[in-house]
């Protein structure tokens, strides 16, 4: 089974014959023991530490179809090295563009994406209502906001409502986890612990969606809910909306409530709040575990991993734009 | 109406016998084979059986015109020109009909390129067995040409053929693509 590699330590990554060699380099510039990463087992690379690499390496990674994501010192996502598209289908690309260009089709599809996202957010909130959290009011508010999307005349209005839904939802977080306050959603930099975790998790979710799109015939730059060009790969943002509640938020709740992450795992400075490296490692470990969790799929009648659910969503989008089957968003049922 | 030139390959005729929907998707660039372990296993069988044979490269790439709008393309893994014998390696003989059709496609390509009366042999190294395909006669050739015309016509349709729902579906590389749906809550 292929897996994602997270490189936290600074060092040099190079091609060694037909595999990869990583040499850690410490602060004084001394080289450590080399480690070999079997290229066949790499799904993608996440680079958090400073990395030395040459074009021979990137040519090799490109050939192997390995995506590399880069993060800066503050663990913010800076960008990705994407190998050349290897799955091209003109028919899908044209159909995807046509769906985007038709105002009605785009609006309907965007609304369905919000439907999935809203359902999955409510699923999380209702679970914690069952455990005694006082969330009845925000749930009613979110339901009302969702109802109002039915009459939204354009994408901007829809995005506005979506923003309100998500804000109401995020404000519930402090009732779900103990010890941490939410205040308001702050980004670049996030100002407190919850915001830091949300930003970090959302980045991981975005890169996950991007990789899944890369392995299908969809064009990652043509999106429906988000405006193409908002980010380089805006279709990944669309898909991430649906999956963030299941993948990111549940990881955060579980890690904070089980006290796997505590106040000492964060560093608050003038530049905002960041995760300490050890905490980031803990987070990605739990994240990877979550992605490999499986559920019995109700229509496929077999077990699929959470990660694979994202790929299945891509298939649904392809079928939708080709008018083979209308898109119904993924709705968590457990 | 003027059509752009359509390319048909041996995979097309193989899929034509398996599933029209799969064929249509494949033809339009919606490939799923890279996700399938079974497809990968099939490739390995092809690659690693008869290792000594690959010492001399006998691969043969051919093309021919079916009609003004349709071009046939094929790569024969191993062709023995002295014996006029086409070799094709497959993992399992469960879909033998499709394999035979694929072999006839190669025979037609060879014939169009001036090499007539070629026999074919489909080898199943895992089953320790093989099937012989006699040279193309007038009937089988006419039938194959008819199938290719039908196929070209079908592929020009804008819409994807419906789901077949057979018991083979679960093994297919396109299973997830075809069957993914959301159950109502």
Domains in chain B, ordered, with CATH?
6-179 (3.90.320.10)
- Per-residue pLDDT band at B78 (split at 50, 70, 90): confident
Extents of the domains making up chain A: 3-81, 90-322
For residues B38 and B171, the answer to whether their CB atoms sit within 8 Å is: yes
pLDDT in tens, B131-170: 988 988 999 999 999 999 999 999 988 889 999 888 889 8
CATH 3.40.630.30 fits A90-322, yes or no: no
Q: Which residues of A touch B20 (CB under 8 A)?
A: none
Identify the helix (H) or strand (E) that includes residue A134: none
> Quick check: B28 and A92 CB within 8 A?
yes
Q: Is A121 helix (H, G, I), strand (E, B) or coil?
A: helix
Query: ipTM value of the model?
Result: 0.81
- Is A297 annotated in a binding site? The answer is no
Confidence at residue B1, expressed as pLDDT on a 0 to 100 scale: 54
Distance from CA of B61 to the nearest CA of A (A): 23
| A109 contacts: CB under 8 Å, gap ≥ 6 | A99, A224, A225, A320, A327
> Quick check: A324 and B31 CB within 8 A?
no
> Quick check: B29 and A330 CB within 8 A?
no
Q: Mutate which of B22, B30, B167, B170 to disrupt the A interface (most A C-beta within 10 Å)? A: B30
> Quick check: B28 and A318 CB within 8 A?
no
Pick the CATH number of A3-81 from 3.40.50.620, 3.40.50.2000, 3.40.50.1260, 3.100.10.20: 3.100.10.20
Q: Which of B30, B159, B179 sits opposite A92 (nearest CB)?
A: B30
Residue A134: CA count within 13 A, CB half-sphere = 1
Q: Which residue of A has its CA nearest to B160?
A: A324
pLDDT in tens, B11-54: 999 999 999 999 999 999 999 988 888 888 888 888 888 777 76
For residues A316 and A327, the answer to whether their CB atoms sit within 8 Å is: yes
> Quick check: A91 and B28 CB within 8 A?
yes
- Is A313 annotated in a binding site? The answer is no
The Cα–Cα gap between A320 and A96 comes to 9
Q: Where is average pLDDT lowest: A4-8, A38-42, A169-173, A228-232?
A: A228-232
Confidence at residue A303, expressed as pLDDT on a 0 to 100 scale: 93
pLDDT in tens, A266-320: 888 877 888 888 889 999 999 999 999 999 999 898 999 999 999 999 999 999 9
| Tokens standing for residue B49 | 């059986």
Q: Is the dihedral of CA A158, A161, A167, A170 positive or negative?
A: negative
- Is A191 annotated in a binding site? The answer is no
DSSP A220-242: TT--SSSPTTSSTTHHHHHHHHH
Q: Which residues of B touch A331 (CB under 8 A)?
A: 182, 185
């Amino acid at each position: 089974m292929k897996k994602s590699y997270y490189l936290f330590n600074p060092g040099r990554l190079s091609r060694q014959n037909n595999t990869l060699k990583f040499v850690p380099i410490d602060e004084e510039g001394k080289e450590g023991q080399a480690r070999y990463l079997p290229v066949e087992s790499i799904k993608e690379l996440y680079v958090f530490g400073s990395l030395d690499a040459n074009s021979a390496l990137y040519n090799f990674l490109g050939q192997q179809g390995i995506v590399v994501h880069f993060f800066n010192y503050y663990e913010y996502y800076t960008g990705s090295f994407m190998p050349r598209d290897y799955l091209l289908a003109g028919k899908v690309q044209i159909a995807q563009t046509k769906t985007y260009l038709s105002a009605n089709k785009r609006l309907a599809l965007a609304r369905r994406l919000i439907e999935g996202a809203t359902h999955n957010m409510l699923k999380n909130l209702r679970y914690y209502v069952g455990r005694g959290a006082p969330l009845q009011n925000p749930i009613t508010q979110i339901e009302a906001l969702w109802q109002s999307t039915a009459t939204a005349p354009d994408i901007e209005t829809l995005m506005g409502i979506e923003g309100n839904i998500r804000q109401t939802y995020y404000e519930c977080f402090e009732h779900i986890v103990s010890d941490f306050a939410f205040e308001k959603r702050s980004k670049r930099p996030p100002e407190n612990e919850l915001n830091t975790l949300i930003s970090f998790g959302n980045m991981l979710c975005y890169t996950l969606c991007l990789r899944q799109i890369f392995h299908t015939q969809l064009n990652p730059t043509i999106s429906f809910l988000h405006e193409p060009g908002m980010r380089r790969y805006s279709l990944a943002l669309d898909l991430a909306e649906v999956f963030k509640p299941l993948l990111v938020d549940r990881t955060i709740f579980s890690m904070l409530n089980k006290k796997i992450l505590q106040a000492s795992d964060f560093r608050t400075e003038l530049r905002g709040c960041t995760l300490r490296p050890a905490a980031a490692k803990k987070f990605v470990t739990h994240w990877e575990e979550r992605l490999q969790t499986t559920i019995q799929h109700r229509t496929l009648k077999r077990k699929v991993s959470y990660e694979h659910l994202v790929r299945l969503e891509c298939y649904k989008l392809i079928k939708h734009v080709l008018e083979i089957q209308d898109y119904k968003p993924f709705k968590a049922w457990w | 109406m003027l059509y752009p030139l359509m390319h048909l390959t041996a995979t097309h005729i193989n899929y034509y016998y398996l599933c029209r929907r799969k064929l249509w998707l494949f033809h339009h660039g919606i490939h799923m084979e890279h996700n399938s372990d079974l497809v990968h296993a099939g490739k390995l069988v092809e690659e690693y059986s008869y290792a000594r044979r690959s010492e001399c490269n006998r691969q043969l790439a051919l093309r021919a015109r079916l009609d003004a709008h349709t071009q046939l393309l094929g790569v024969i893994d191993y062709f023995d020109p002295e014996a006029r014998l086409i070799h094709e390696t497959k993992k399992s003989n469960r879909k033998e009909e499709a394999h035979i059709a694929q072999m006839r496609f190669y025979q037609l390509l060879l014939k169009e390129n001036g090499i007539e009366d070629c026999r074919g042999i489909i080898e199943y190294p895992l089953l320790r067995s093989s099937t012989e395909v006699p040279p193309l006669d007038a009937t089988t050739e006419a039938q194959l040409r008819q199938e290719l015309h039908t196929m070209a016509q079908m592929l020009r349709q804008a819409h994807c053929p419906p789901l077949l729902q057979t018991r083979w579906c679960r093994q297919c590389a396109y299973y997830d693509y075809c069957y993914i749906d959301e159950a109502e809550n």
